[in-house]
Amino acid sequence: MVLDNTQATLKWWPSPAKLNLFLHINGRYDNGYHQLQSLFQLLDFGDELAFEINNTGQITLADPIPGVADEDNLIIKAAKQLQNHPLANKAKNIGCHIHLIKRLPMGGGIGGGSSNAATTLVALNILWDLNLTKTTLAEIGLSLGADVPIFIYGKTAFAEGVGEKLQGVELAQKSYLVVFPDCHVSTAEIFTQANLPRNTAKIKFSDYKFDNTHNDCQELVCERYPNVANTLQWLLEYAPSRMTGTGACVFAMFEQHQDALKVQSLLPQGSTSFVADGRNISPLYTSM
């Protein structure tokens, strides 16, 4: 993407991707939500957002996402939720024009929309001089999606509950080749399947190893989406690999960044992929 003169002068805020290094489903709550355990790994690759603050009171998007109406866009939703929060009275008559550089595929299970919402909340909290706490921002974020708080707190984390109970953790740095098969997996569809495993025993983070965990959604998704199954099988020839979240993205884990790039170069022509390093602290915060 070539930036125009206005965009080139703006501050760009990172909106990083994440991986679910594992996803265990431990049961269901009385309200029907699933009880989960997961490990969110933040990456040093993602989208970017920039904000032009104005006095119109309007929230507008310079770069609409094809097929997504503004009223359904999590960026717009996040900005309006923040603007209308009881503790954000000074933002009532302040607006913004939001620019987006989109690199993360939609429906990939790597948190693109949730990360966009979180970056919007964090950035506008600063730019609108609201001084809301991360806890308050995370509460707003949770109303937009279960994955939003992880990006607001900005730390790689062991997650429980519906994904909202977060324990920041330190992981040894790995490099990841992330591949997006040519399909879109509906999270709602997967979580409503009767044959989805829902009885995996809970673990402690201290017991975590990649090899003794799994993704409870992976087998079901692979049965229903051959592109996911084929891509995962291909990656497994080169490195430990797994599907992230409910898909469709799959990832392979490497000790060295160069090894991930080497395998990426072997992917079939036209594949959508990227190589990124894991980060214990979100690029959103290390860039401030």
Catalytic residues: 18, 147
Question: Strand 34-54 relative to strand 175-180: parallel, antiparallel, unpaired?
Answer: unpaired
Q: Which of left, alpha, beta for 127 (phi over 0: left; psi -120 to 50: alpha)?
A: alpha
119: tokens are 């970056």
For the purposes of burial, counting CB atoms within 10 Å of the CB of 77, is it exposed (0-12), middle (13-18) or buried (19 or more)?
buried
Nearest Cα to Cα of residue 75 among 94, 46, 93, 50: 50
DSSP summary character for residue 192? T
CA distance 42 to 283: 9
- DSSP string for residues in 233-283: HHHHTTS-EEE-TTSS-EEEEESSHHHHHHHHTTSPTT-EEEEEEEESB-H
Report how far apart the first and last C-alpha atoms of the chain are (Å, whole number). Answer: 23
* φ and ψ of 36, to 5 deg: -125, 160
Q: What is the CA radius of gyration of the chain?
A: 19
